[in-house]
Amino acid sequence: MLKGKFKYYLLMHMVIFIWGFTGILGKMLDQEHIPVHTIVFYRMLIGFVAIGLFMVLSRRKITMSKKTILQTAGTGVIIAAHWITFFLSIYYSNVSFGLVFFSTTALFTSFLEPWIMKKKFDFKELTMGAVVVGGIALIGFDSTSQVQPVVSPQLNYGLAMICAISSAFLAALFSVINATFVKNNDSVQITFFELFAGCAAVGLFYFASGDFSNNELILTSSSLIMLLVLGIICTAFAFFMGNWLMNFISPFTMNLSVNMEPIYAIIIALIVFQESEVMSPVFYMGAGIIILAVFFNAYLKGLRKKSKKPTA
């Protein structure tokens, strides 16, 4: 059984690796002086076009009601805000710092799911949340005296922490909302309208504020390639693969394995950006506390779900 599923587990970790690579691309685009809102605008535009082409080629018809389309459009705005705060966290710090706090998404989901989906709250998750807060406090205290090997003018660990935690909360929020949508709607159509609405919202907001200039929309060949990878592979392709793999891998295994994303991202970042990603021992201690708490929380949830299954 395990041998037969090995290729699916391998593909699953490939998808998680791709998700972890998102932060790397964000930092590389930052080094090319591409503003955060421009990155998010192009990412959602490219993803929207890619999924739109897939829908045309597969001859999918729009089956969602107008009310649901409007609701998914609102969720798309939340997704756009999530990506903006995510890339800002990396902009104000580095990939390692941003991804560690983003890993708290699973715990935010544990608190939001009972509230939105009207499920019973488990106080064990409150304990895990307290452990994560301890890890965050440890990193936060250390970051006040952190000396970055490569100093950048925008370095601001406090602001990066706020952006990363906000991004994690928004990611948990739209994930729980989407969980209610996919029960009765096509997930491809949901993503199509979410990406369209998010792209439109980012464009309209920044054009109205005057922060979006024509010069910012002009891309170099290297930044265009990175944005195409971000939009097609890290957004559209990873989304399809993630959904497809759910046919062969249990949700528990998938959710537990997704917690490897920050670990993969930190390792890649250390290889790509080298000394600018090196943090203090206290940072890695706090990161370990956060990641282990998230893993343990997912493990406990899996055990509870198994215990609730009726026995034959």
Give pLDDT tens digits for 197-219: 999 999 898 888 776 666 767 78
Is there a contact between 36 and 160 (Cβ–Cβ < 8 Å)?
no
Q: What is the pLDDT of residues 43-64, one digit of tens each?
A: 999 999 999 998 999 888 888 8
Mean residue pLDDT of the chain comes to 79
pLDDT band at 149 (very low <50, low <70, confident <90, very high): very low
Neighbours of 220 (CB within 10 A): 11
Strands (E), 58-157: none
Task: Identify the burial level of 148 via C-beta atoms within 10 angstroms of its C-beta, where 0-12 means exposed, 13-18 middle and 19 or more buried.
Answer: middle
Residue 278: is its pLDDT beyond 70?
Answer: no
Question: With DSSP H G I counted as helix, E B as strand and the rest as coil, what are the percentages for the chain, rounded to 5?
Answer: 80, 0, 20
Alpha carbon 106 to chain centroid, angstroms = 11
Is there a contact between 12 and 252 (Cβ–Cβ < 8 Å)?
no
Q: Give the per-residue pLDDT at 2.
A: 46
Residue 145: is its pLDDT beyond 70?
Answer: no
Q: Which carries the bigger pLDDT value, residue 250 or residue 135? A: 135
Within 8 A by CB and 6+ apart from 19, the residues are 234, 238, 258, 261
* Angstrom distance (rounded) from CA 240 to CA 105: 21
Residue 263: is its pLDDT beyond 70?
Answer: yes
Residue range 217-223: average pLDDT? 85
pLDDT band at 42 (very low <50, low <70, confident <90, very high): very high
* Angstrom distance (rounded) from CA 165 to CA 104: 7
- Secondary structure class of 94 (helix, strand, coil): coil
* Angstrom distance (rounded) from CA 14 to CA 260: 11
Q: Give the per-residue pLDDT at 311.
A: 45
Asked whether the CA dihedral 216, 88, 19, 41 is positive or negative, the reply is negative
Residue range 218-246: average pLDDT? 84
Q: How far is CA 83 from CA 11, 53, 73, 87, in A?
A: 24, 23, 15, 6
Q: Which carries the bigger pLDDT value, residue 67 or residue 240? A: 67
* Angstrom distance (rounded) from CA 66 to CA 258: 33
Residue range 282-303: average pLDDT? 72
* Angstrom distance (rounded) from CA 269 to CA 64: 40
Q: Give the per-residue pLDDT at 301.
A: 65
Work out the widest C-alpha separation in the chain, in whole angstroms.
Answer: 65
- Domain edges within the chain: 2-303
Is there a contact between 232 and 50 (Cβ–Cβ < 8 Å)?
yes
Q: What is the pLDDT of residues 167-191, one digit of tens each?
A: 988 988 888 888 778 778 887 888 8
